[in-house]
Amino acid sequence: MDWTLLTTQVINGLQFGVLLFLLAAGLTLIFGIMDFVNLAHGSLYMVGAYFCATLTYWTGSFILAVLLAIPATAAVGFVVEIVVVRQLYRRDHLDHVLATFGLILVFNSVTQLIWGPDGFIVPLPKWLQGRIPLFDGIELPTYRVAIILVGLAIAAGLYLVVTHTRLGMRIRAGASNRDMIGALGVDINLLFTLVFAIGAALAGIAGMMIAPINAASIGMGDGQVIVAFVVIVIGGIGSIRGAFVAAILVGLIDTMGRSYLDSLFKLVMSSQNAETSAPAVANMLIYIIMVAILAIRPQGLFPPKGR
Amino acid sequence: MNLVSLSAPRFWVYLALLVLFALVPPITQWIDNSYYLDIANRLVVLAIAAVSLNLILGYGGMISFGHAAYIGIGAYAVGIPAHYDIDNGFLQFAIAIGASAAFALVSGMICLRTRGVNFIMITMAVSMMVFYGFVSIEEYGGDDGLTIYYRSNFGSLIDLSDDVTLYYLCLASLVVAVFIVYRIINSRFGMVIQGAKGNEARMQSLGFNTYRYKLACYVISASMCGFAGALMGNDTGFISPEMMDWTRSGELIFMVVFGGTGSLGGPVLGAGAFLLLEPVLEGLLNAIKEGAEVYWHIPFGIILICAVLFLRGGLDGLLDWRRKR
């Protein structure tokens, strides 16, 4: 067993899972409370990455850029909610899918108009570039560990907000019965806009975190949002806890599948067959898991109660 | 639902459209520009796929976000035999329909257990599995796709190597597809499907096993879509997994909804709008500023959003203007 490879892959898997959680948390909040399917969530992820890239070049500091890009992305989410999304709450899911599909096209094209067709790599500060030495010569890449820590901190913060604040109470109430909290005098339009902006900020943070690794590029969120949807469907739509468990699960399984599936397949088939089939199955793995879980539990792992 | 109602403006619009489509080959020959025949052929094939999706989406309320997978299966059912120099069209089309139906039966049995967004996402997941499946098979080109050098050979029956013959086959198939949907939705079977869309619990308490009805409907729709895929393989001569990507399925949904969900001819209008908007918008943008045509997705996306917000009933709904007001 190659321990260096294993720890690297575990770190990569956790990092991917944490980023997925940031995307999925916003998605599941928006779905849970507004019953709104937002395919354009990946566009906010992209917008966050581009803001972060530009601000890093302007300010010269990655950290400062992230801190400035978070409210900027939330503001974009705010505007999108008021201009387009708000008109769609009373419509069915089909209209949501179609209108947000249109939003994706607009976002991608406008991004190309502003930033051009090429991607941006965001430079990291020196202290995030190195590796943390562990025992036996095993090292962990600092930046990926930092992403995991930031992600876990945000997850914890989100948990505290949702369970221990008035806003969180309203969010939970909204998720279980929208009409009732409106009747109790909560400004539901404001709550919806706020939740959408929070979701946008979370997606934006995920985009900012990935920009130094994968570069900010047009359409970078379109594939990720599909994976994030897989995550929230597995976790049970509307459940943040479910999104967290499913995100880590999907992140680890996807990463592990890509590096270990071929050696696993070689145990049962010829090495040539294993080499051709393993990448295909690795790509399909999360979808296979989703279909399997939905076949057994059509409502997902942790469906929220009281709906 | 009333196809032959001479008083409705809708009937005359669709009749005029059919005549126009039938006249496309002589017109393109007259102006000596086969480009328009290519577009018309693509339009007709996509319209068949959209009509098939409309059967489950518009009448059955099943929002499949993975219908492009069946276009791909149909296209590869032509491409793979052709790869081995088997160009028998009867065999290829039989495989296209059979494989689509078989795959729809198996995947539908799982997908139809879920509802709402979970159904949207699981159909998409299934189509992505097919997508990655074909990406990984290097024998058939993998990512790069597969060129089909010979069109389907139907012996002395029809000669598809002629572009005009292929076009008329596609057009006739579209008319048949619309007629099949018309017959289905007006049958007892179709009534159950539409009833299940309106209120599934009520249909179940009336004693209908809605799961089986929906599954049958899903399989029929997928077979029609596979047939469209086989035509598309013949039309383009080049197939790749890209035609099964989830964005392709999104485009099919666009055609159905923009044209008018649950209307017989709406998906045809939607397919037309989808194909014609791109060159029209590109032309307009290019006229405003040289090189601006690469941004045609901006007005396209805005039109899409506005269509959802303001155009209830889609393009087909516009044809009702006289009766409603």
Is A299–B118 a contact, with Cβ atoms under 8 angstroms apart?
yes
pLDDT reported for residue A133: 77
Contacts of B301 in chain A (CB under 8 A): 102-106, 109
First to last CA, chain B: 19
Name the closest residue on chain B to residue A107, using Cα atoms.
B298
Helix (H, G, I), strand (E, B) or coil at A269: coil
Is A237–B118 a contact, with Cβ atoms under 8 angstroms apart?
yes
Is A98–B246 a contact, with Cβ atoms under 8 angstroms apart?
no
Average pLDDT, chain B: 87
Closest by Cα among B133, B80, B69, B68 to B103: B69
Report pLDDT digits (tens) over A141-183: 888 888 899 999 999 998 888 888 888 888 878 777 778 888 8
Asked if B252 and B228 touch (Cβ cutoff 8 Å), the reply is no
Asked if B315 and B266 touch (Cβ cutoff 8 Å), the reply is yes
Q: Is residue B311 part of a domain?
A: yes
Average pLDDT, chain A: 86
Contacts of B116 in chain A (CB under 8 A): 93
Largest CA distance in chain A: 66
Q: Is residue B29 part of a domain?
A: no
- Which domains does chain A carry? 10-126+166-296 (1.10.3470)
Name the closest residue on chain A to residue B310, using Cα atoms.
A87
Q: Would the pLDDT of B246 be above 90?
A: no
Is B295–A283 a contact, with Cβ atoms under 8 angstroms apart?
no
What HEC string does chain B produce?
A: CCCCCCCCHHHHHHHHHHHHHHHHHHHHHHHCCCHHHHHHHHHHHHHHHHHHHHHHHHHCCCCCCCCHHHHHHHHHHHHHHHHCCCCEHHHHHHHHHHHHHHHHHHHHHHHCCCCHHHHHHHHHHHHHHHHHHHHHCHHHCHHHCEECCCCCECCCCCCCCCHHHHHHHHHHHHHHHHHHHHHHHCCHHHHHHHHHHHCHHHHHHCCCCHHHHHHHHHHHHHHHHHHHHHHHHHHHCEECHHHHCHHHHHHHHHHHHHHCCCCCCHHHHHHHHHHHHHHHHHHHHHHHCCCHHHHCHHHHHHHHHHHHHHCCCHHHHHCCHHHHC
The torsion angle over the Cα atoms of residues A225, A227, A232 and A236, rounded to 10 degrees, is 150
Name the closest residue on chain B to residue A39, using Cα atoms.
B250
Question: How far is residue B291 CA from its own chain's centroid?
Answer: 32
A285 in contact with chain B, both atoms CB, cutoff 8 A = no
Q: Nearest CB to A101: which of B138, B250, B309?
A: B250
Residue A307 is given by DSSP the state -
Q: Tokens standing for B193? A: 């499907």
CA distance, residue A137 to nearest chain B CA (Å): 37
Contacts of A229 (CB under 8 A, 6+ apart): A27, B121, B124
What is the average per-residue pLDDT within A15-31? 90
What residue type is A271 in one-letter code?
S
Q: Nearest CB to B298: which of A101, A106, A284?
A: A106
Q: Is residue B23 part of a domain?
A: no
- Mutual angle of helices B68-83 and B210-236, in 10-degree steps: 50
CATH no. for residue B148? 1.10.3470
Residue B65, CA distances (Å) to A116, B123, B275 in order = 31, 6, 20
Is A280–B132 a contact, with Cβ atoms under 8 angstroms apart?
yes
Q: Would the pLDDT of A39 be above 50?
A: yes
Contacts of B65 in chain A (CB under 8 A): 97
If one counts every other C-beta atom within 10 angstroms of the C-beta of residue B56, the result is 27
More confident residue, A187 or A111: A111
Report pLDDT digits (tens) over A234-292: 988 878 888 999 999 999 999 988 888 877 877 777 777 777 777 778 888 888 888 88
Q: Is residue B22 part of a domain?
A: no
Largest CA distance in chain B: 63
CA distance, residue A117 to nearest chain B CA (Å): 10
Report pLDDT digits (tens) over B149-189: 888 888 777 887 888 889 999 999 999 999 999 999 999 99
Q: Nearest CB to B301: which of A91, A103, A277?
A: A103
Binned at pLDDT 50, 70 and 90, residue B226 comes out as very high
Q: Is residue B27 part of a domain?
A: no
If one counts every other C-beta atom within 10 angstroms of the C-beta of residue A306, the result is 8
Helix (H, G, I), strand (E, B) or coil at A36: coil
pLDDT reported for residue B27: 86
Could you give the number of structural domains in chain B? 1
Is B297–A106 a contact, with Cβ atoms under 8 angstroms apart?
yes
Is B297–A105 a contact, with Cβ atoms under 8 angstroms apart?
yes
CA angle B311, B317, B321 (to 5 degrees): 105
Q: Is residue B295 part of a domain?
A: yes
Q: Nearest CB to A106: which of B114, B125, B302?
A: B302
pLDDT reported for residue B321: 61
Domain that holds residue B241: 9-17+34-324
Is A95–B257 a contact, with Cβ atoms under 8 angstroms apart?
yes
CA distance, residue A144 to nearest chain B CA (Å): 28
Give the best residue of B305, B309, B311, B315 to mutate against chain A (max A CB count within 10 A): B305
Q: Is residue B4 part of a domain?
A: no
Q: How far apart are CA A245 and CA A301, in angstroms?
A: 9
Is B136–A279 a contact, with Cβ atoms under 8 angstroms apart?
yes
A131-133/B146-147 β-pairing: unpaired
What is the average per-residue pLDDT within A176-197? 84
pLDDT reported for residue A44: 93
Query: φ and ψ at B312, to 5 degrees?
Result: -70, 135
H-assigned helices in chain A: 3-34, 41-59, 62-83, 93-115, 126-129, 142-164, 166-176, 178-183, 188-214, 220-235, 240-266, 271-296
Q: Nearest CB to A287: which of B128, B297, B304?
A: B128
B146-147/B238-239 β-pairing: antiparallel
More confident residue, A25 or A266: A25
Give the best residue of B112, B130, B139, B298 to mutate against chain A (max A CB count within 10 A): B298
Q: Would the pLDDT of B7 be above 60?
A: no
- Mutual angle of helices A220-235 and A240-266, in 10-degree steps: 100
Report pLDDT digits (tens) over B309-324: 888 777 887 777 655 4
Q: Would the pLDDT of A30 be above 50?
A: yes
Q: Nearest CB to A109: which of B129, B295, B308?
A: B295
Binned at pLDDT 50, 70 and 90, residue B212 comes out as very high
Q: Would the pLDDT of A126 be above 90?
A: no
A-to-B residue pairs, Cβ atoms closer than 8 angstroms: 128
Q: Is residue B1 part of a domain?
A: no
pLDDT reported for residue B68: 93
pLDDT reported for residue A305: 65
What would the DSSP string read from start to end of A86-149? GGGTTS-HHHHHHHHHHHHHHHHHHHHHHH-SS-BPPPPPHHHHSEEE-GGG-EEEHHHHHHHH
Asked if B91 and B148 touch (Cβ cutoff 8 Å), the reply is no
Q: How far apart are CA B152 and CA B161, in angstroms?
A: 8
More confident residue, A280 or B108: B108
Asked if B39 and B61 touch (Cβ cutoff 8 Å), the reply is no
Q: How far apart are CA B172 and CA B267, in angstroms?
A: 16
Asked if B27 and B221 touch (Cβ cutoff 8 Å), the reply is no
B146-147/A139-141 β-pairing: unpaired
Q: Nearest CB to B117: which of A93, A226, A279?
A: A93
Is A95–B308 a contact, with Cβ atoms under 8 angstroms apart?
yes
Q: Would the pLDDT of A60 be above 80?
A: yes
Residue written as token pair 């949501």 = A96
Q: Would the pLDDT of B62 be above 60?
A: yes
CA distance, residue B174 to nearest chain A CA (Å): 25
Residue written as token pair 């069109």 = B151
Report pLDDT digits (tens) over B116-134: 888 888 898 899 889 988 8
